[in-house]
Structure 1
């Protein structure tokens, strides 16, 4: 499938937000006591692990673009058995965790902006995946977008 300008827009905004996230802004901060530090570290570690495992599971199907790669296959095993976009979940968890750990409202706001972007990017991606994989709409019914569906 051919990439469109939307593909480049989503990826471009995503990388701009990543770059903005790492800017050391200390204007909007809070004292992140022990509880926030522990929650932050746990979210950061789980998010990094989830992201890494998801990337490994996608293997040759990995692309930063929402349009599926030519000749790719639908992965419905591993983390993808429960979540349609575990890489996005891993990124969000990692960034939120670090934001909490560092007491940075700025980093938390950037993470929330990424959540909105990933929501729209994933909706676009799922339209494309449904065109390529006839089984994708059924897969969507069984799995959650960013978190497992409740039983």
Structure 2
């Protein structure tokens, strides 16, 4: 149930963020570059998954495998980073206080989702503790 609420909240916030409520700012190029970086990060993450291993909810799927290669060798949650970068790009393009507040809510939601997912992985797979020691959560070499 917690997973469904977190995913629902995530998509609701993203929906509100992409509503055309503002006009593009003078930072359109920077926003588009950040947005593209987010999309590329997401594609790199999806590339490493075997068919049926990817899950949008933080729940651990039956027979899933821990992915530790490619972008996952550096960060544990590249899909969350992908969402955060993409929506940061949207925030830069359509910067308003409304967008900033929504981005902050999205960040908090994804951090809660990330921590919940990590707690599930630690219970599900003993190798996850070792993987956590070798990688960062979202930002390579930083966090």
- State TM-score, norm by structure 1: 0.84
Measured against aligned partners, the alpha-carbon deviations of 1:12-33 in whole angstroms (never above 9, x if no partner) come to: 111211221222223xx7x833
Count of residues in correspondence between the two structures = 141
CA contact (8 A) 2:14 2:87 kept: no
Aligned to 1:108: 100
Q: Confirm whether residue 83 of structure 1 aligns to residue 75 of structure 2.
A: yes
Unaligned runs of 5+ in 1: none
Aligned to 1:72: 64
Measured against aligned partners, the alpha-carbon deviations of 1:64-105 in whole angstroms (never above 9, x if no partner) come to: 111111000000001100011001101110111122123343
Root-mean-square deviation (Å): 1.7
CA contact (8 A) 1:96 1:107 kept: no
Query: C-alpha separation between the residues in 2 aligned to 1:41 and 1:108?
Result: 17
Unaligned runs of 5+ in 2: none
- Secondary structure in structure 1 of the residue aligned to 2:19: coil
Decide whether aligned partners of structure 1 residues 134 and 86 sit closer, same or farther in structure 2, where only a CA change above 3 A counts. Answer: same
- Secondary structure in structure 2 of the residue aligned to 1:58: coil
- State TM-score, norm by structure 2: 0.89
Query: C-alpha separation between the residues in 2 aligned to 1:105 and 1:146?
Result: 25
Bigger CA drift: 82-91 or 101-110?
101-110
